[in-house]
Amino acid sequence: MAAKVLIYQCSYCSYLTFDLLSQYKVSLQDNIFLTDLPCTGTISVNMLLEAVENGFEKVLVLGGTGNDCRFLKGSQRAQKRVEEAVKILREIGYDKASIAFYGLKPGDVDSLKNILNTI
């Protein structure tokens, strides 16, 4: 069975990019689940670890880059949270799941395609 993947989008950057994906004839496998948040800054370490605990082998948080974040610092926060969660997983020696954060400019379909290819 294919590894389960959970992808968190933010409402102002990556959501739009995902909407554009189908126009570029990209298709997803049914082991990848998409869900959205107002801002990736809403994500907590708890949520990331819960996903891992429930069997998701890959958790991706896709937010904005630099000053593009509509909520000013949300993406930066999310990046830090992801680093925290990764650190915890490493400390407990759990290597069957990976968590990552990527920052995308809104509408940057090419970068999103590259990220999806790595799954």
Partner 1 sequence: MTKSYLVIGAGAVGLQIAQDLKENGHEVWLVEESTMPGGKFNSQKPLEPGINLAYFSGTYHPGDYLFTSKAVSLMASKRVKVLYGSKISVIKEEEGKFYTEIIAPKENYTKVFDGVYFTPGFIPFNPEEKAEYLYGINNFVLTGLELENLLKTGELKKNPPEKVAFIQCVGSRNNGIGPGKPYCSGFCCLYSLKEIDLLKKVLPDTIVKVFYLDLRLYNKGAEKLYQKAVENNVSFIRNMISAIKEEPKSYKPIIRYLNNGRFKDELFDLVVLAQGAELSPNIKTLLARLNITENELLEFYGTPENPHQIRPGIYFAGSFLNPMDGADSMVSAGAAAFPQINLKESVQSTMEIKYFTNTGIIFCNCRGSLPVDELKGTVADLPSITISDCLNEDELGKVRSFLLDNQIGKAVFAGCSKIKIMPGLEKLAYEESIGARFEVVNLKEQGYSLYGKEKFKAIAQKLLAGALARLKFSTTPALKVKNDITFDVVIIGGGLAGLKAAEALTEKGVSVTVVEKQDSFGGKHKNKVIPLEGINLKEFIEKIVLKLENRGALLLKNAEIVEVSGAPGNYQLIIERFGKRLNINAAAVILATGTQNSYGHYRKTSQIIFQEDLFSSADLLSQCDSIGFLQCAGSRNDLNPICSRNCCVSSLDAAIYVKEKFPEKDVFIFHQDIMAYGKYEYKYLKARELGIKFVVYNRGQYPEIKSIGGKIQVVTNENYLDDVVLDLLVLAEGAVPNKENEKLAELFRVGLDEFGFLRESHQDISGGYFPKWGVFVAGEAQGPKTVREILSSAQNTAKNVLTYLNQLQNSQLKVNYSEVIEEKCAACLTCVRVCPYSVPVVINGKNVAYIDPISCQGCGICASECPNKAIVQNNRPHQGVLAEIRVLAGEGK
User: Residue 100: beta bridge partners?
Assistant: 60
Can residue 74 be called a binding residue for partner 1 (CB under 8 A)? yes
Burial of 32 (0-12, 13-18, 19+ CB in 10 A): middle
Structure tokens at 84: 């925290």
Can residue 68 be called a binding residue for partner 1 (CB under 8 A)? yes
Interface map 20-59 toward partner 1 (x if CB under 8 A): xxxxxxxxxxx--xxxxxxx-xxxx-xx--xx-xxxx---
User: Least CB distance from residue 6 to partner 1, whole Å?
Assistant: 7
Judged by CB, which is closer to partner 1: 54, or 117?
54
Edge-first strand listing for the sheet containing 58-63:
32-37, 5-10, 58-63, 98-103
Residues that bind partner 1 (CB under 8 A): 4, 6, 11-12, 15-16, 18-30, 33-39, 41-44, 46-47, 50-51, 53-56, 66-74, 77, 81, 105-107, 109
